[in-house]
Amino acid sequence: MGSLHQELSDIVGKNHVLTGSDAARYSQDWKDLYHWQPMAVVRPASTAEVSGVVKLAHAQGIPVVPCGGNTGLNAGTFAQGALMLSLERMTSIRDIRPHARVIVAEAGVVLDNMHAAAAQHDLIFPLTFGARGSAQVGGVLSTNAGGSNVLRYGNTRALALGIEVVLPNGDVLDLLSALHKDNTGYDLRDLFIGAEGTLGIITAAVFKLFPKPKAYATAMVSVASPAAGLQLLNMLQTATAGMVEAYEYMPRNYMQGLKAKRPDLAPPLGFDTAHAIMVELGAISAKDATPGDDGSLPIAGLLETALAQAIDDGLADDAVLAKNEAERKHFWAIREAAGEVIFAHENALDTDVSLPLDAVPDFLEQIEVVREKCDPGSQPHVVSHLGDGNVHYSVFLTRPDEDLKEAMRELVEETALALGGSFSAEHGIGLSKRGGMARRKDPVALNVMRQIKATLDPQNIMNPGKVLPDA
């Protein structure tokens, strides 16, 4: 390591090559389920330095594992004996062009800082989720993160116009285009987004920005069932001309978990609500956001009227609108406590499935039958981005049994795929979902992926052992 340490230090500076105890905070995943000892943690500050490190690793056949905020849920940064390449020093927002509504950010920019930079120009970068205070641009690109606003704005892949990538041999692939249309051959951008660092290291990206909503209207709604919730979504989309930004489903089992862990986050409709939905509208036009003579917002009135009609029509049972920003933040805190609630349980299994919208109710009904057969006495814990069909179905198992956990995971996968779904919606594959890839991914698709990997990374040094199962 002595010679290698010096060569790495020559590239990034000796204070940015960490080993032993100095690398401790990079040596476990966010859930504290996986632990490893990297060969070293290297912290480059530029694309040129990333390129230099990767060229050195390529010449010596050393595995490289990229790391962002390390808030992933599937052990994508497991780096035993590898060079761990942290992009946390690459924090520059290289450019922001308000009239073109684009922002160019490096991989280490934290999501909250993207939001703040856009807000200075009365714009938004709409990607948001609970870990926004630590998740970094490179990580959200590498996992194609989703979050709560996919319904209106799309996931990370839909928000990225261009990227910059350091390839496995150290070459820099410059795809930093701000073009909305560019029909010049294969779409290499989308090849690297969602690849979790197995094909190269994303060092920067061009993202779309959007007009900042001038006002929001947010409500908690009680519905009779998930199916009724989907009917309500369609009704609200029509009534508001597509202004629904978030549509989050939280059944009683989630509310009871919230009550046990965070009793301070009392839901406005109570912890016993069978099927609660948080809905948020965003008003772009002034006519929907300009207060009337009585101080009320048109968008709030629009949501209130629509929900009153839904109650009259039997699509909803009750609803409470946030009266101010503090109440709106409280509603969001209820939903965003999901990770804290789930991972407080020592025997929690978390899954991340995606379904056609009309199949979500069937999934939630069918999975309960197989869950109880697999582990009688286990407890379900569900939250869902219902508007895009993403269900975070977790199970509090009755005992710490890895075979039981894997059996339950297979049943969740099987139920989702039988309904036309996917076993992975927005958290990526990493290390922990490779079994699902082997079981569920089309063999022809896997073969194509392996060919791409072998072509771009013939030495298999880029985040080895992740995403693709063994042949």
CATH 3.30.70.2740 for domain 345-425: yes
Degrees to nearest 5, angle at CA 245 with 430 and 207: 55
- pLDDT value, residue 185: 94
Q: What is the DSSP letter of 25?
A: G
Residue 249: both structure tokens together: 């489903």
In this structure, are residues 136 and 68 in contact, taking their beta carbons and an 8 Å threshold?
yes
Measured CA to CA, the distance from residue 369 to residue 31 in angstroms comes to 28
Asked if residues 279 and 328 have their Cβ atoms less than 8 Å apart, the reply is no
Q: Copy the structure tokens of residue 35.
A: 């632990």
| Number of C-beta neighbours around residue 401 at 10 A | 13
Q: What is the pLDDT of residue 356?
A: 97
Q: Is the pLDDT of residue 373 over 80?
A: yes
Q: What Cα–Cα distance (Å) separates residue 141 from each residue in 13, 79, 336, 438, 449? A: 27, 19, 21, 23, 18
pLDDT tens digits along 395-432: 999 999 999 999 999 999 999 999 999 999 998 999 98
Taking the complete model, does pTM exceed 0.85, yes or no? yes
In tens, the pLDDT along 123-143 reads: 999 999 888 999 999 999 999
The rounded mean pLDDT for the chain is 95
Compute and round to an integer the Cα radius of gyration of the chain.
23
Tokens 């993207």, located at residue: 114
Q: If you classify domain 93-211 with CATH, what class do you get?
A: alpha beta
Give the relative orientation of helices 2-12 and 47-60 as an angle to the nearest 10 degrees.
160
Neighbour-count burial of 382, counting CB atoms closer than 10 A to its CB (0-12 exposed, 13-18 middle, 19+ buried): buried
2 pLDDT above the threshold of 80: no
Contact between 73 and 55 (Cβ < 8 Å): no
Domain 2-86 annotated CATH 1.10.3080.10: no
Same fold, 2-86 and 93-211: no
> What is the distance between the alpha carbons of residues 220 and 328, in angstroms, rounded to a whole number?
10
354-367 pLDDT, tens digit each: 999 999 999 999 99
- Exposed / middle / buried, residue 51 (Cβ in 10 Å: 0-12, 13-18, 19+): buried
Q: Euclidean distance between the first and final Cα of the chain, in Å?
A: 32
What kind of fold does domain 215-338 have according to CATH?
Alpha-Beta Plaits (3.30.70)
How many beta carbons lie within 10 A of that of residue 362, not counting itself? 16
For the chain, domain boundaries = 2-86, 93-211, 215-338, 345-425
For residue 84, what are the CA distances in angstroms to 51, 317, 460? 14, 52, 15
Closest among 314, 127, 297 to 222, alpha carbons compared: 314
Mean pLDDT on 206-221: 97
Predicted local confidence at residue 1, as pLDDT: 64
pLDDT at 388: 95
